[in-house]
Amino acid sequence: MKKYIIQSLRLTLVLIVLLCIIYPISIALAGKLSNGKGGGEKISKNGKTVGYQLLGQSFTKPEYFWGRPSAVAYNAAGSAGSNKGPSNPDYLKEVQSRIDTLLKYNPGLKKSEIPADMVTASGSGLDPNISEQGAAIQIARIAKTRKISEQKVKDLVAMNTLKPLLGLFGSSSINVLKLNLALDNL
Protein backbone atom coordinates (compact mmCIF):
# COMPACT_ATOMS: atom_id res chain seq x y z
CA MET A 1 0.00 0.00 0.00
CA LYS A 2 2.89 2.36 0.82
CA LYS A 3 4.14 1.85 -2.74
CA TYR A 4 0.86 3.16 -4.20
CA ILE A 5 0.74 6.19 -1.91
CA ILE A 6 4.28 7.20 -2.92
CA GLN A 7 3.40 6.75 -6.63
CA SER A 8 0.26 8.84 -6.17
CA LEU A 9 2.17 11.62 -4.44
CA ARG A 10 4.83 11.65 -7.19
CA LEU A 11 2.15 11.81 -9.89
CA THR A 12 0.38 14.60 -8.01
CA LEU A 13 3.60 16.62 -7.73
CA VAL A 14 4.39 16.14 -11.43
CA LEU A 15 0.87 17.26 -12.41
CA ILE A 16 1.03 20.25 -10.06
CA VAL A 17 4.28 21.42 -11.65
CA LEU A 18 2.99 20.74 -15.15
CA LEU A 19 -0.52 22.17 -14.83
CA CYS A 20 -0.01 24.91 -12.24
CA ILE A 21 3.38 26.26 -13.32
CA ILE A 22 4.56 25.21 -16.77
CA TYR A 23 1.20 25.37 -18.59
CA PRO A 24 0.13 28.83 -17.29
CA ILE A 25 3.58 30.29 -18.03
CA SER A 26 3.53 28.91 -21.58
CA ILE A 27 0.03 30.32 -22.20
CA ALA A 28 1.08 33.73 -20.81
CA LEU A 29 4.16 33.73 -23.06
CA ALA A 30 2.05 32.79 -26.10
CA GLY A 31 -0.26 35.69 -25.26
CA LYS A 32 2.65 38.12 -24.98
CA LEU A 33 3.87 37.02 -28.41
CA SER A 34 0.43 37.49 -30.02
CA ASN A 35 -0.75 40.63 -31.85
CA GLY A 36 -2.41 42.22 -28.82
CA LYS A 37 0.47 41.36 -26.46
CA GLY A 38 -1.95 39.38 -24.30
CA GLY A 39 -4.41 42.25 -23.90
CA GLY A 40 -6.59 41.52 -26.92
CA GLU A 41 -6.35 43.06 -30.36
CA LYS A 42 -7.54 46.64 -29.92
CA ILE A 43 -9.37 48.57 -32.61
CA SER A 44 -8.50 52.26 -32.55
CA LYS A 45 -9.90 55.40 -34.12
CA ASN A 46 -7.90 58.64 -33.98
CA GLY A 47 -5.51 57.05 -31.46
CA LYS A 48 -8.32 56.10 -29.07
CA THR A 49 -9.32 52.49 -28.41
CA VAL A 50 -12.94 52.02 -29.48
CA GLY A 51 -13.21 48.26 -29.10
CA TYR A 52 -11.57 44.88 -29.43
CA GLN A 53 -11.28 42.51 -32.37
CA LEU A 54 -13.01 39.62 -30.61
CA LEU A 55 -15.64 41.41 -28.49
CA GLY A 56 -19.00 42.45 -29.89
CA GLN A 57 -20.65 45.77 -29.16
CA SER A 58 -24.20 47.03 -29.24
CA PHE A 59 -25.17 49.17 -32.24
CA THR A 60 -28.79 50.29 -32.32
CA LYS A 61 -28.80 53.45 -34.46
CA PRO A 62 -30.32 52.93 -37.92
CA GLU A 63 -27.26 54.38 -39.69
CA TYR A 64 -25.05 51.55 -38.42
CA PHE A 65 -24.87 47.83 -39.05
CA TRP A 66 -26.31 45.93 -36.13
CA GLY A 67 -24.45 43.01 -34.65
CA ARG A 68 -25.56 39.72 -33.31
CA PRO A 69 -27.80 39.94 -30.23
CA SER A 70 -26.17 39.29 -26.87
CA ALA A 71 -27.63 37.31 -23.98
CA VAL A 72 -25.38 39.28 -21.58
CA ALA A 73 -25.67 42.81 -23.02
CA TYR A 74 -22.09 42.52 -24.37
CA ASN A 75 -20.65 42.41 -20.83
CA ALA A 76 -17.38 40.49 -21.14
CA ALA A 77 -17.24 39.92 -17.38
CA GLY A 78 -20.43 37.88 -17.58
CA SER A 79 -19.83 36.02 -20.83
CA ALA A 80 -22.53 33.39 -21.31
CA GLY A 81 -25.24 32.25 -23.61
CA SER A 82 -28.89 31.96 -22.78
CA ASN A 83 -30.13 28.97 -20.83
CA LYS A 84 -33.44 29.17 -22.65
CA GLY A 85 -34.18 26.38 -25.10
CA PRO A 86 -35.96 26.70 -28.45
CA SER A 87 -39.31 25.70 -26.94
CA ASN A 88 -39.15 28.20 -24.05
CA PRO A 89 -41.98 30.76 -24.45
CA ASP A 90 -39.84 33.63 -23.10
CA TYR A 91 -37.07 32.81 -25.58
CA LEU A 92 -39.56 32.64 -28.46
CA LYS A 93 -40.94 36.07 -27.48
CA GLU A 94 -37.41 37.47 -27.39
CA VAL A 95 -36.60 36.11 -30.85
CA GLN A 96 -39.93 37.35 -32.23
CA SER A 97 -39.21 40.80 -30.78
CA ARG A 98 -35.84 40.83 -32.59
CA ILE A 99 -37.53 39.76 -35.83
CA ASP A 100 -40.15 42.50 -35.44
CA THR A 101 -37.43 45.11 -34.86
CA LEU A 102 -35.54 44.03 -37.98
CA LEU A 103 -38.73 44.10 -40.06
CA LYS A 104 -39.65 47.54 -38.71
CA TYR A 105 -36.29 49.15 -39.48
CA ASN A 106 -35.67 47.32 -42.77
CA PRO A 107 -38.80 47.87 -44.90
CA GLY A 108 -39.15 45.39 -47.72
CA LEU A 109 -37.39 42.69 -45.73
CA LYS A 110 -39.28 39.41 -45.46
CA LYS A 111 -39.18 37.27 -42.34
CA SER A 112 -37.85 34.35 -44.40
CA GLU A 113 -34.81 36.45 -45.44
CA ILE A 114 -33.61 37.04 -41.87
CA PRO A 115 -30.59 34.87 -41.04
CA ALA A 116 -30.54 33.12 -37.67
CA ASP A 117 -27.46 35.00 -36.47
CA MET A 118 -29.41 38.28 -36.48
CA VAL A 119 -32.03 37.05 -34.00
CA THR A 120 -30.18 34.53 -31.82
CA ALA A 121 -27.35 35.20 -29.38
CA SER A 122 -24.05 33.38 -29.66
CA GLY A 123 -22.82 30.94 -27.02
CA SER A 124 -20.59 33.57 -25.42
CA GLY A 125 -22.95 36.50 -25.95
CA LEU A 126 -19.95 38.47 -27.24
CA ASP A 127 -19.74 37.52 -30.92
CA PRO A 128 -18.33 40.51 -32.87
CA ASN A 129 -19.19 39.11 -36.31
CA ILE A 130 -22.27 38.71 -38.44
CA SER A 131 -22.82 36.67 -41.56
CA GLU A 132 -22.76 38.15 -45.05
CA GLN A 133 -26.53 37.65 -45.16
CA GLY A 134 -26.85 39.55 -41.87
CA ALA A 135 -25.05 42.50 -43.44
CA ALA A 136 -26.89 42.22 -46.77
CA ILE A 137 -30.34 42.64 -45.20
CA GLN A 138 -29.21 45.94 -43.62
CA ILE A 139 -27.64 47.57 -46.69
CA ALA A 140 -30.81 49.30 -47.95
CA ARG A 141 -31.57 50.81 -44.53
CA ILE A 142 -28.05 52.15 -44.07
CA ALA A 143 -27.81 53.56 -47.60
CA LYS A 144 -31.14 55.35 -47.18
CA THR A 145 -30.35 56.68 -43.70
CA ARG A 146 -26.88 57.92 -44.71
CA LYS A 147 -28.07 59.12 -48.12
CA ILE A 148 -25.43 57.18 -50.05
CA SER A 149 -25.77 54.62 -52.82
CA GLU A 150 -26.47 51.01 -51.96
CA GLN A 151 -23.56 50.02 -54.20
CA LYS A 152 -21.11 51.97 -52.01
CA VAL A 153 -22.39 50.14 -48.93
CA LYS A 154 -22.25 46.78 -50.75
CA ASP A 155 -18.65 47.47 -51.78
CA LEU A 156 -17.77 48.35 -48.19
CA VAL A 157 -19.34 45.10 -46.96
CA ALA A 158 -17.36 43.15 -49.58
CA MET A 159 -14.08 44.83 -48.52
CA ASN A 160 -14.72 43.97 -44.86
CA THR A 161 -15.77 40.35 -45.38
CA LEU A 162 -13.48 37.80 -43.74
CA LYS A 163 -13.26 34.70 -45.91
CA PRO A 164 -13.00 31.17 -44.48
CA LEU A 165 -9.54 30.02 -43.41
CA LEU A 166 -7.78 28.60 -46.49
CA GLY A 167 -11.13 28.90 -48.27
CA LEU A 168 -12.28 25.76 -46.46
CA PHE A 169 -12.69 26.15 -42.72
CA GLY A 170 -15.57 28.16 -41.29
CA SER A 171 -17.84 30.55 -43.09
CA SER A 172 -17.52 34.13 -44.29
CA SER A 173 -18.15 36.74 -41.62
CA ILE A 174 -17.94 40.47 -41.04
CA ASN A 175 -16.64 42.26 -37.94
CA VAL A 176 -19.40 44.77 -37.18
CA LEU A 177 -17.21 47.31 -35.37
CA LYS A 178 -14.67 47.43 -38.20
CA LEU A 179 -17.45 47.70 -40.78
CA ASN A 180 -19.11 50.56 -38.90
CA LEU A 181 -15.80 52.42 -38.54
CA ALA A 182 -15.22 52.01 -42.29
CA LEU A 183 -18.77 53.28 -42.86
CA ASP A 184 -18.01 56.40 -40.79
CA ASN A 185 -14.88 56.97 -42.92
CA LEU A 186 -16.89 57.14 -46.17
What are the helix and strand counts (H, E) for the chain? Answer: 7, 5
Q: Poorest-confidence range of 31-45, 79-93, 140-154? A: 31-45
- 78 falls in which pLDDT band (50, 70, 90)? confident
Distances in whole angstroms, Cα of residue 108 to Cα of each of 20, 120, 123, 147, 149:
57, 21, 30, 18, 17
Ranges of beta strands (E only) in the chain are: 42-45, 48-52, 129-130, 161-162, 173-175
pLDDT tens digits, one per residue of 16-58: 999 999 999 999 888 888 776 766 677 778 878 777 777 888 8
The domain ranges of the chain are 1-38, 55-184
Region 96-121 average pLDDT? 91
Q: Is the pTM of this model over 0.85?
A: no
Average pLDDT, the chain: 87
**Predicted local distance difference test score (pLDDT) of residue 154:** 94
